Amino acid sequence: MAGTHEDAMLLVELAKWGAMIDLAEATRTINSGDFNPETADGLDKPVQTTLYFYETIGTLVKNGLFDGDLARDWLWVKGAWEKVGPAALRAREATGEPHMLENFEALANY
């Protein structure tokens, strides 16, 4: 069994937070036919929202505070990374910060 009752409670809180930051709209945007991962900018609101949300999930998983299998069962982590990961990698290169958004990437590539 993946996750615990505590994980389930955190999942609900994370879902609420996702609604507050308009993750659904960000998801619609990055999954639209008009969205191009190769030209997406990490500062565009839908991209930034997605990166921030998933990096938070990845950080919780990395630190043993949220079950990774449950996270990947709930969210299409790999698909989200495929859409906004190129923008994250460009941001890493531009800032010279090799660890930027690495928890999202690790969660997606698990």
Rounded CA-CA distance 101/50 in Å is 11
How confident is the model over 47-105, as pLDDT tens digits?
999 999 999 999 999 999 999 999 999 999 999 999 999 999 999 999 999 999 999 99
Quote the domain boundaries for residue 9.
Answer: 5-108
SS (H, E, C) 6-71: HHHHHHHHHHHHHHHCCHHHHHHHHCCCCCCCCCCCCCCHHHHHHHHHHHHHHHHHHCCCCCHHHH
Name the domain count of the chain: 1
Rounded CA-CA distance 88/4 in Å is 31
What's this model's pTM, rounded to 2 decimal places? 0.95
Report pLDDT for 26. 98
